[in-house]
Amino acid sequence: MLLSFAVQKLRAEEGITSGRPLITSDKRRPLKPVAINCGGSFKMFSRRIAAARPLRTSIIPRQTTLISQRCASQAAAPSGPVLPLTDIEDPGMNGGYINPPRVKRQFRDPNADWWDKQERRNYGEPVHEDNDILGIFSPEEYTHQKVGTAGFQFGLFILSVLGLCTVVGMMYPDKQSAPREFEGGLERELGGPTAVRARAAGDPL
């Protein structure tokens, strides 16, 4: 495609007509055929082709790949030994964090003027490191009854149910009934003398 374009352009500039008159914008008179100088035209033609080669790179857009650049700090990390805190300096083994009193939010006054009414907490108040256990949404701690009182109530309930069942069993009258008897024990119907027969009259209870 580029070669044909260069040939047409060269013919238009050199006036090559191949025996046909060239038509200009003035339609009244055609141009005269021009003699062709083969030596000079081929030299110029080769130069035009050499000059037209970079045209392909200008027509086709170059696709560049965007390479993300990442910067890393060249500062060396401290290589010295990390001295742990002693038990006196860090008794809670939590990096020296000073915990507030361990009080469950459940036991705080719900009618007090708290900044956070739901959590029963003031603005900027430090939280305990076990806040997930002491928070208002943690499982509620049962404090309505003591352990001894609750055990006594459970035992009393079990004894009451068992005593009621015993009294009902002793006082409820049984249904009058007797084992049913069949004539001959249905020996023939059940398969003969070797078969297991039913209860017959006179059989012991």
Residues 8, 55: one domain?
yes
Give the residues of the chain that fall short of pLDDT 70. 1-7, 10, 12-83, 85, 87-89, 91
Q: Are residues 158 and 133 in the same domain?
A: no
Look at residue 19 in the predicted model and tell me its pLDDT. 47
In a domain, residue 67? The reply is no
Looking at residue 78, its pLDDT comes to 59
Residues 127 and 166 in one domain: no
What local confidence, expressed as pLDDT, does residue 174 receive?
A: 82
Does 64 reside within a domain?
A: no
Residue 29, Cβ density class (10 Å: 0-12 exposed, 13-18 middle, ≥19 buried): exposed
Q: Whole-angstrom Cα distance, residue 181 to residue 202?
A: 9
Evaluate whether residue 123 is within a structural domain: yes
From the number of C-beta atoms within 10 Å of its C-beta (0-12, 13-18, 19+), residue 114 rates as middle
Domain end call among 11, 31, 59:
59
* 51 part of a folded domain: yes
pLDDT of residue 115: 96
CA 202 to mean position of chain CA atoms: 80
127 & 167 share domain: no
Phi-psi region of 203 (alpha: psi -120 to 50; beta: other; left: phi over 0): beta
Q: How many domains does the chain have?
A: 3
So what's the pLDDT on residue 56? 53
In a domain, 89, yes or no: no
Residue 158 inside a domain? The answer is yes
Which domain range does residue 165 map to?
145-173
Residue-level pLDDT at 81:
67
State both tokens at 172.
């409820």
